[in-house]
Structure 1
């Protein structure tokens, strides 16, 4: 025999090498525990895993060192396996929870999983007991004078079997089999479990050769801690895996109990198996409850809370799946069916919310959903994107024209909301995809993306809102810059709060003597990249994207503040501000205007709020109530673009306004079209009879000014006098007309 073999045999046997084995146990435990603590401190997602491993290592080490110490004392040598077995059983909860957490990769460890693990230990204990009990076909050493150490060893080995199963579960069900660390942990439980098996076979003694295997197992655990994970954790806790595990334990427990009863095993072992079945049955019931809750939560995650139809997440998931099926080569031969996406927006919904309250707005959305959903084809998906936007996804089984007919019928009957009847006007944008569409391969792949197709339909819908069309189909030539449009809207939203909106002022002059009567506040956008943008370049976007009210309030705030500054300088000038349709229907507007005027100490009579006929007649009861409240404050009202409405003369006598503004479309044709001149003359006469001031817009030449003066028009506004000017340039314009320095008191003499 070689010298090295003799040393190995001596080391693993009894004799003077026992103290050295004890030292080996101490060093191995200390070094492994230190490595595990280091990993627990430096890990992030797996921190609790390694913390539990480190505590388990410490507890396991206490048992191993104690067993090694027992082997040194001859009187205790026969029971040397007991401390190690006790600590191994106590370590089981820590090791099992660590492995469960590792396999689930979840934020916390489910305590009910420990119930399942403990039940599995009881079942395995019963199975091992059947094998080892004499008289049942087993050959186990249960004839020793004190059988309880052997029973403890059986329990220890049962814990080891369950831990090996948990390690394999982490390797395969959690897709960690490519991570060498999990195999090192598996090796740890194989090697450390070998000592328990040896002790069991030796009737409670602790073979000296088991200690090196146990030390190698701890070193394998330390190696797993040193290595870094190869794959980032992506999986979350799933009750399905626990359900499968509980079912397996219940099945194994029932089988073990049945076999035990057939072979006449001791009743204690059968009771142990039945307790395991009971524990796993409880866990199985908990799992089934969790699965039911999970099904409910998943359904709720895909359902809109307010309307009960699909939400954005469900829409994108369905549309992605539908487009994937329609791609060439994804299914049987033949032409691939097309997919059509309709984005539906409820017009003027903000006005319902502002005027009648959010409860009324929610009720309107619910009634709209209840009216549309039952009429749609069964194969169509109806979803709510959020706010007042809905989406209908249809394929060849649900032709788009049928869906459009449903949406058209919805608009015919009003909805009873807040005690009044509200008509639902819908703007619809349509985008389609077919595999046969004439695009390049790259464009076809891009179109077969749910979010991209949805953006196209959304762009068409905003075009429908802007143009007043009921349905607009996406056209790459017209709507190609979808991304740029959305970017501009985002920038505008920021511009409102970042102070990028600028107010310019255009003078209004008395026709009699040419003195200044007032100014109209007109908004501009000082874009940080594109420069100064005219209203036509961004106000349509503000209107269609629900930003017009915010723009209006910002212009009103700046205008009153500037008017207050002018008044402190002696410039007494009336300021006119345009109100958007949505702002006009906001019942909180009068209070906001009153607070603004009081803050800047500006008299209400010097502020004119201009509204269009269309805005007044959209919901006359609400809009007239707001105008009446403003009139009660002393604020003047003006009808802007007069003559472009459809019931001007019949409504004019009911409106609490003090000014009427002739639209530029009439003044431009005043000299060339006798009918335009007749309309203007009649309108001026009617306005004066109602004691209204008349302001003509769009005056660009002296001849038009002379004609308006002859017809009795009170004031004029246009490029003939001045373009809209920033406040400093307007002050310079006033000073030039009066021959005084800009900002000097007395620059203005007459105001109306």
Structure 2
């Protein structure tokens, strides 16, 4: 059984509303009976208009109060009906007073003109529901158009010698105003149909019909020298009936349309042209009547409307520019950068896409504060701008990532041009930046992806070029070369690398990181005195991964802080467990460069030790000389705070850095770890032996303990003992072992308490 069609009337439409509509229809039918031959100011002539408009006010008021949707539309149309109703009532009163009888018709004649702003505002508000119109209260356009229409009509009356031109001015301009405002309202209603995509909404067509019917009555009078045309006498009441029907119908479905200032701009232009024609006509005829004044006002109003449009377009241009601009640096944002790549590709231009990532920016941002980080980004942007040539674009993609889209010169190999661009960019960052009175050195890694103009809009090639540059950038970070040009052969590896980083993020929260421990043995006694905790990744698919396979990525992608926290947590917990079992071993943990820039690290270490009940001296934190170079002052401050906790600080890989002796003087260290490169050459190279011997002697003079790494042969251990080395660590004793296996290994040896 077919479903019934949806009701056309608004829900809850009362019977009295329908009754009023019927009465309005009847009034429209009887209006012509009273009009012919009736005294123009006979009160009976106004009774139909009074009844019709009073009923219309009631219906429109009910519509506005009962349904919030489009309330402002119907409120304004109701106000216009109220204006006409009041005018009809005033006219009826004036007509029965002899002293005012001569002017009794004036209020009703001018009522449509007075009601015009309300109807126009209602129609514009209606358009608001279908478009994103900027100013729904703007009646300037409509008023200027009405004035222009009055000016043109007045000029035509004068030019044609119409008898109406000799009538009293209030009658003439009242009629001209009715015709002019009717034309404007009809045009506005039709524009609402198009702009608001309301062609399937029957209500707007009823409104169009109502305005057209009323306009026909006014035009009939205009061509009949101001006298009412008998068969058009019921035009206004019939228009009211149509408005009543529109008010009680359900809204039709409309599709919202985007804002388009074309209509208002064209309308203002037409008004200016028409008004100018009237003004020129007046100048030629040397007359400055009301038509000239109306034309002047219309031209002024439309000019103001055009100026408003220009202002809105300027604001739109600013908004568009802001949508393509990075707020912090003022550079192009990601959207603008990718758009530029597509535009260059569409033009067939060869280009190079450079992706620049600041190294260790997170350390600056976390250590000096976000304000300092923002200052650094702005300074970097200013530093990179001089590298640009005409046609190049510098942008910030977000965070500490910058991008350059550079058009390449013809005849130059794309790879060579890309490398040259990378060198220029790196050269701009060699000098330190001054931030908050401090000198901050910043390096960067740049990935370069040359293109030969294949980035067509909508193909996703711009995103692909970004991915290629991203892969090359991370390759440069891993290699420490500063820059790298994308190579297709590396694309698969880059994809796996990025996937590994995401897996590492998940591993940090899913207990996939485990510790292995390598024992440290007293050279003189052979007793195990400590262990070094070395992290491993128990990957669910790839198996157990060593630190070299993921620690560099953790450092590059800002995961080292979380990873170190996890290692410290496990190491301190394991130390506490061993101590409860009577195994009092020192626990050594490595720190990275980013860890030493984290000013909150000492507090977290103190909390870990306190909660686990582990004495601070049982924890050894190893730092390398190289990690102290990124920000020596802040790194030294963090190390001193750690030492103040009672934690032992050790210099790892001693002898491979550039400032070893100065750090021995400045750092509160208690241990030196000889790099395995010295241990390996101890038996074969006299110079290495001399360096080791002097290092051990120097350390002992300073009261420091010396641990030799990488000991793999008994002969090496014997030689270290002869040189006075304190402890050794290496595969000669044991490889890094899981905690359970280390306990088994320890059970076969003699434990000692340091």
1:510 to 515, 521, 527: 521
SS at match of 1:504: strand
| 1:542 maps onto 2:561 in alignment | no
SS at match of 1:379: coil
- Give the corresponding residue for 2:220: 201
- Give the corresponding residue for 1:185: 204
Residue-by-residue CA offset, 1:30-87 (whole Å, 9 max, x unaligned): 889888989x76xxxxx5xx333333454466679999999999x9998997698378
Deviation at 1:647, TM superposition (A): 5.4
Q: Is the 8 A contact 1:28 1:219 kept in 2?
A: no
- Give the corresponding residue for 1:378: 390
User: When the two structures are superposed, what TM-score results if normalisation uses the length of structure 2?
Assistant: 0.75
Deviation at 1:370, TM superposition (A): 3.9
Q: Is the 8 A contact 1:82 1:204 kept in 2?
A: no
1:467 to 479, 501, 506: 479
Distance 1:455 1:25 in 2: 69
| 1:403 maps onto 2:413 in alignment | no
Distance 1:156 1:526 in 2: 86
- Give the corresponding residue for 2:74: 54
Change (3 A) 1:193 1:64: farther
| 1:139 maps onto 2:162 in alignment | yes
Q: Is the 8 A contact 1:199 1:207 kept in 2?
A: no
Distance 2:78 2:541 in 1: 65
Q: Which moved more, 1:191-200 or 1:242-251?
A: 242-251
| 1:255 maps onto 2:267 in alignment | no
Residue-by-residue CA offset, 1:305-329 (whole Å, 9 max, x unaligned): 4544433332222112111222xxx
Q: Is the 8 A contact 2:186 2:212 kept in 1?
A: no
1:97 to 105, 108, 124: 124
- Give the corresponding residue for 2:9: none
Change (3 A) 1:9 1:382: closer
Q: Is the 8 A contact 1:55 1:94 kept in 2?
A: no
Residue-by-residue CA offset, 1:482-515 (whole Å, 9 max, x unaligned): 555445545545655x465645251534335565
Residue-by-residue CA offset, 1:106-148 (whole Å, 9 max, x unaligned): 5x6354x33333333333333344445xx45363757778x75
- Give the corresponding residue for 1:121: 146
Please give the residue correspondences for 1:128-277 in structure 2 after superposition, counting only pairs within 5 Å.
Answer: 128-131=153-156, 135-137=158-160, 139=162, 141=164, 148=170, 151-152=173-174, 154-170=176-192, 174=195, 180-181=199-200, 185=204, 188-199=207-218, 201-202=220-221, 203=226, 207-209=233-235, 211-212=237-238, 215-216=241-242, 219=245, 226-229=251-254, 231-233=255-257, 235-236=258-259, 245-260=267-282, 267-277=289-299
Distance 1:507 1:405 in 2: 43
Distance 2:648 2:259 in 1: 63
Q: Is the 8 A contact 1:63 1:83 kept in 2?
A: no
- Give the corresponding residue for 1:626: 638
Q: Is the 8 A contact 2:206 2:242 kept in 1?
A: no
Please, which runs of 5 or more residues in structure 2 have no aligned partner?
Answer: 1-25, 36-44, 97-103, 411-416
Change (3 A) 1:249 1:518: farther
- Give the corresponding residue for 2:707: 695
Distance 1:246 1:560 in 2: 78
| 1:716 maps onto 2:725 in alignment | no
Deviation at 1:659, TM superposition (A): 1.8
Q: Is the 8 A contact 1:29 1:218 kept in 2?
A: no
Q: Is the 8 A contact 1:102 1:170 kept in 2?
A: no
Distance 2:514 2:355 in 1: 35
Please, which runs of 5 or more residues in structure 1 have no aligned partner?
Answer: 1-6, 42-46, 327-336, 437-442, 740-746
SS at match of 1:480: helix
Deviation at 1:529, TM superposition (A): 7.5
Change (3 A) 1:414 1:22: closer
Deviation at 1:343, TM superposition (A): 1.3
Deviation at 1:637, TM superposition (A): 0.9
| 1:520 maps onto 2:539 in alignment | no
Deviation at 1:20, TM superposition (A): 12
Q: Is the 8 A contact 2:52 2:240 kept in 1?
A: no
SS at match of 2:638: helix
Change (3 A) 1:687 1:243: farther
Residue-by-residue CA offset, 1:182-239 (whole Å, 9 max, x unaligned): 797366325423214304534486722554455456657877x64322x454x2476x
Distance 2:435 2:242 in 1: 77
SS at match of 2:484: strand
- Give the corresponding residue for 1:334: none
SS at match of 1:392: strand
Change (3 A) 1:620 1:277: same
Distance 1:467 1:458 in 2: 14
Question: Number of paired residues?
Answer: 698
Change (3 A) 1:602 1:281: farther
- Give the corresponding residue for 1:333: none
Distance 1:67 1:364 in 2: 71
Distance 2:709 2:273 in 1: 89
Q: Which moved more, 1:700-709 or 1:647-656?
A: 700-709
Please give the residue correspondences for 1:459-498 in structure 2 after superposition, counting only pairs within 5 Å.
Answer: 459-480=471-492, 485-490=497-502, 492-493=504-505, 496=508, 498=509
Q: Is the 8 A contact 2:28 2:237 kept in 1?
A: no
SS at match of 2:139: helix
Change (3 A) 1:568 1:241: farther
Change (3 A) 1:110 1:473: same
Change (3 A) 1:560 1:153: farther
Q: Is the 8 A contact 1:522 1:724 kept in 2?
A: no
Residue-by-residue CA offset, 1:430-470 (whole Å, 9 max, x unaligned): 1122258xxxxxx9999862222112112211110111112
Distance 1:534 1:150 in 2: 97
Q: Is the 8 A contact 1:455 1:482 kept in 2?
A: no
- Give the corresponding residue for 1:642: 654
Q: Which moved more, 1:161-170 or 1:612-621?
A: 161-170
Q: Is the 8 A contact 1:92 1:159 kept in 2?
A: no
The two structures, once aligned, show a CA RMSD in angstroms of: 5.0
Q: Which moved more, 1:50-59 or 1:710-719?
A: 710-719
Please give the residue correspondences for 1:656-667 in structure 2 after superposition, counting only pairs within 5 Å.
Answer: 656-664=668-676
SS at match of 2:352: strand
1:578 to 555, 578, 590: 590
Change (3 A) 1:83 1:359: closer
SS at match of 2:150: helix
Q: Is the 8 A contact 2:521 2:728 kept in 1?
A: yes
Q: Is the 8 A contact 2:113 2:177 kept in 1?
A: no
